[in-house]
Amino acid sequence: MSFALPERGAPWSDIEPRMRELAKGDVKWRDGRTGMYIFNAGPEVEHVQKTAYAMFASENGLGPAAFPSLAQMEREVVAAGLSLLNAPPGAAGVMSSGGTDSIFLAVKTARDHARAKRGFNSGLNIVAPSSVHPAFDKACMVMDIEMRRIPVKDHLADPATMEAAIDANTLMLVGSAPCFPFGLIDPIDELGGVAERKGVWLHVDACVGAYIAPFVRMNGAKLPAFDFAVPAVSSISGDLHKYGYASKGASTVLFRSETLKQFLEFDAGPWPLGRMITPTLAGTRPGGAIAAAWAVMQHLGVEGYRQKQGEVTQAREKIEAGVRKLGFEVLGKPQLGILSFAHPKVDALRIYAQMHHRGWFTAALVDPRALHLMLSPKHNEVAHEYLADLEASLGAVTDEQFASKYAG
């Protein structure tokens, strides 16, 4: 396929229908039949997202002196995140473009802190459960750090095995709240004990959970400690464009203190303009993403988030009960918006293919083989449709297996 810039431009009236035509092949996520990539909080929140983003689409977060509005909005978004996650006085953070970016920045900060305070220069490693996001591997690739993935126990981080993997060159210990594959909150309190005994940085990847777990807890769920309430936690990553319902791409990386955050800063140069000092790796930072995150937070407030996250909980409980009735086994005890489940007699990937054929765009695990859902408030309306199609898909695969067994 080749493409060249048109010789002559076209009016928007010609371009818009072409874009709508291109989008016809995309997943129809507004109907609730998508269990990944999108966090569907309804048309009202979508309107706030897009209107706020458009208002600041041309502005650049790189220039706080030029755009103090963006600087103020970012400060307030970060302050809200710190408050929700039980940060102590003096805690600090920044917005980033997404979870991978936030994780990269946390690793960079911990590395530079270790260089300054512990004299580390090379041979560093990170100890993490096998369930952590591959963003940590990416950060290790860039920074020449060894990634030590430790097997999980009952789908959760195993503090004892992880402690045994720590050595004098361990830079960081990692836990998830929750992990993406299983939707389970690792035992952060126990990992905190390990971090304190070994004197290592503890990072909590709450990219999925940071902006849902506090409200699930407010709604009455008993969640394990996972945030800055655990004294050993040094940093937390949390995505606003997941359960914060902000526009892509907006995330936060938060630190227990301004002293730790100082090691995040990028100071590059000299060059003809002097030195370039930025709070994150990025230079240009889209103003629309900052503005949309702030606007959605203002729009929902605590009551709105509690309602939306309550709908997510209801959807998960409905689907969890329904899949159990169909003979599936839920992996662990999910408490937030992700659940994974497998069937003891039927290959989950074959069921996944059947569900995809029926119009569901979801995910699947390969180890172990299981179906995976990341739920949004919209799924509370369509849970019964999902379960009906799941039952039909299970029946179709069972019939295929029976026919194959007795063929010929």
Tokens of 153: 């126990």
The C-alpha atoms of residue 253 and residue 101 are separated, in whole angstroms, by 9
Spatial separation of the C-alpha atoms in residues 284 and 278, rounded to whole Å: 10
Identify residue 178 by its one-letter amino acid code: P
Residue 118 has what pLDDT? 87
The reported pLDDT for the residue numbered 283 is 84
Q: Are residues 145 and 281 in the same domain?
A: yes
DSSP label of 65? T
Q: Rounded CA gap, 331 and 298, in Å?
A: 36
Domain that holds residue 140: 50-296
Q: Give the pLDDT of residue 276.
A: 87
Alpha-carbon distance of 103 to 96, in angstroms, equals 10
Q: To 5 degrees, how large is the angle CA 205–CA 209–CA 211?
A: 120
Quick: pLDDT tens for 366-381: 999 999 999 999 999 9
Q: What is the DSSP letter of 220?
A: T
Length of the chain: 408
CB atoms within 10 A of CB 395: 13
What is the model's pTM?
0.94
pLDDT digits (tens, 9 = 90+) for 128-138: 999 999 999 99
Torsion of CA 101, 217, 52, 247, to 10 degrees: 40
What is the rounded distance in angstroms from the CA atom of residue 243 to the CA atom of residue 305? 9
CB atoms within 10 A of CB 396: 16
Residues 173 and 273 in one domain: yes
Question: Is the preceding omega at residue 231 within 30 degrees of 0, hence cis?
Answer: no
Residues 170 and 266 in one domain: yes
- Asked if residues 135 and 237 have their Cβ atoms less than 8 Å apart, the reply is no
Interacting residues of 134 by C-beta distance below 8 A, sequence separation 6+: none
Query: Residue 65's pLDDT is what?
Result: 87
Predicted confidence pLDDT, tens digits, the chain (408 residues):
678 999 999 999 999 999 999 999 898 899 999 999 999 999 999 999 999 999 999 988 888 889 999 999 999 999 999 999 999 999 999 999 999 999 999 999 999 999 998 888 889 999 999 999 999 999 999 999 999 999 999 999 999 999 999 999 999 999 999 999 999 999 999 999 999 999 999 999 999 999 999 999 999 999 999 999 999 999 999 999 999 999 999 999 999 999 999 999 998 888 888 888 888 888 889 999 999 999 999 999 999 999 999 999 999 999 999 999 999 999 999 999 999 999 999 999 999 999 999 999 999 999 999 999 999 999 999 999 999 999 999 999 886 665 565 555
d(CA 115, CA 344): 49
Domain edge (last residue) among 275, 296, 317 = 296
Question: Of 266, 296, 326, which residue sits at a domain end?
Answer: 296
Domain shared by 185 and 325, yes or no: no
- Choosing from 238, 268, 296, the residue where a domain stops is 296
Q: For the chain, how many structural domains are there in total?
A: 2
Cβ neighbours, 10 Å, residue 24: 7
Q: Are residues 184 and 318 in the same domain?
A: no
